[in-house]
Amino acid sequence: MEVPLLDLKAQYAKIKDEVLAAVSEVLESQRCIGGPKVAELEEKIAAISDCRFAVGVSSGTDAILNCLMSLDIGPGDEVITTPFTFFATAGCIARVGARPVFVDIDPETLNINPELIEPAVTEKTKAIIPVHLFGQMADMDPIMEVTDKYGLAVIEDAAQSITATYKGRKAGSIGTAGCLSFFPSKNLGGIGDGGMIVTNDETLAERMRIMRDHGQQPRYYYHYIGGNFRLDAIQAAALLIKLPLLDKWSQARRDNASYYNEKFKGSVIQTPSIRPDCVSIFNQYCIRVPKRDEVVKHLHDKGIGCAIYYPIPLHMNECFGYLGYKQGAFPESEKAAGEIMALPIYPELTDQMKDYVAGTVLSFLD
Ligand SMILES: Cc1ncc(COP(=O)(O)O)c(C=O)c1O
């Protein structure tokens, strides 16, 4: 049996006619950037995120970049985040000329450890980017306590966690702004790159709209040095077809996670730890195992897709060498990077596929 890590063809097969019709409508209109489809998607994503405003952008990366630019964060500033995340989180901080300041993760949830944030705050700190990793939100209450105390902005990196909740509150609705990604592998994935910023701050939302269009308002009157961060209408059209299915898909992922959890009970496999006050959308199902690289190889040999998110914590990457962090600086992130692996969790998995995946991992580790 073959079980891919993700099977987007299986998803597409069920919605092909609607997606093609929606894309065709955009092509017929030749309104290819922005326009009514983008506005409709913004309204709907704001609503499901319990936020007043949403600003469609070209990717999750550009959502973070736009936030930092719109908050005037730049050279001389520091932004605190986790080293156990996708590159874009810290990459954007560095791209605006600010300094990424890493603090270690909570080994249970793999999200930023709030207790370590306050000691990292300096005169230069302007913002914190908590990342809601793999579909579960970071522990926002203690994070907001610190940011309120020091007057810092909070950019929630919710690229992997659209509609996830923390104490009943939606991803992106707690901080200054939240960044979503519509990269195809996300729970709500487009047919190419796309992203969105959600916020309750009207002034900031307006600035982000101007910033995504080179900083101009009206055309050729430039207020800021912005960029081309606009969302394509074709992406919005496809996402509007998929949006009504998002909750069902996220629930199927949660059900798959419970299925695996049950299978792995009592074994050496460490299953994802979801806080009782959080609802995860399981963009990834990541286990921690001994002999991880051997397990990954064995699964690949058996036709099972799996991946390592993330093999090298960001502070150990060459491009961040200038920050001066050494091995051992963030022991929990480094340990997790050596043990973690993601199993197939996509909604279309059958019980037979899950049994095969779980059985193959278990028999190898026995
Ligand atoms: C945590 C995190 N932040 C940011 C991004 C960037 O999103 P995009 O790929 O849409 O640019 C991703 C996407 O992979 C992500 O997982």
Convert the pLDDT of each residue in 301-353 to its tens digit: 999 999 999 999 999 999 999 999 999 999 999 999 999 999 999 999 999 99
Average pLDDT of the residues of the chain: 98
Would you state the pLDDT for residue 179? 99
Nearest Cα residue to atom 7 of ligand 1: 60
CB-ligand 1 contact for 81 (6 Å cutoff): no
Whether the per-residue pLDDT at 270 is higher than 90: the answer is yes
For a ligand 1 pocket test, name from 61, 180, 182, 229 the mutation site with the most ligand atoms within 8 angstroms of its C-beta: 61
pLDDT for 164 equals 99
Say yes or no: CB of residue 195 within 6 Å of ligand 1.
yes
In short, whether 131's Cβ falls inside 6 Å of ligand 1 is: yes
**271 CB within 6 A, ligand 1:** no
233 lines ligand 1 (CB under 6 A): no
Distance 230 CA to ligand 1 centre (A): 16
* pLDDT of 85 above 90: yes
pLDDT over 90 for what percent of the chain? Answer: 100
In this prediction, residues 277-295 reach a mean pLDDT of 98
CA–CA distance, 36 with 231 (Å, rounded to integer): 12
CB distance 82 to ligand 1 below 6 Å: no
Distances in Å between the alpha carbon of 182 and those of 44, 113, 312? 14, 26, 24
> Ligand 1 pocket, 332 CB below 6 A?
no
Pocket test for ligand 1, best of 6, 160, 309 (most atoms within 8 A of CB): 160
Task: Kindly indicate the confidence band of residue 209, based on its pLDDT and cuts at 50, 70 and 90.
Answer: very high
> How many angstroms does the Cα of residue 218 sit away from the middle of ligand 1?
30
Question: 106-119: per-residue pLDDT in tens?
Answer: 999 999 999 999 99
Model confidence pLDDT, tens digit, residues 49-69: 999 999 999 999 999 999 999
156 lines ligand 1 (CB under 6 A): no
- pLDDT tens-place string over residues 227-257: 999 999 999 999 999 999 999 999 999 999 9
> Ligand 1 pocket test: which of 62, 86, 196 has the largest number of ligand atoms within 8 Å of its C-beta?
86
Q: Determine if ligand 1 sits within 6 Å of the CB of residue 86.
A: yes
Atom of ligand 1 nearest to the CA of 132: 1
Is the CB of 284 inside a 6 Å radius of any atom of ligand 1? Answer: no
Q: How far apart are CA 185 and CA 4, in angstroms?
A: 12
Our answer on whether the CB atom of 181 is closer than 6 Å to any ligand 1 atom is yes
pTM listed for this prediction: 0.98
Q: Does the CB atom of residue 159 touch ligand 1 within 6 A?
A: yes
Please give the pLDDT value at position 366. Answer: 86
In percent, the amount of the chain with pLDDT more than 70 equals 100
CA of 193, closest atom in ligand 1: 10
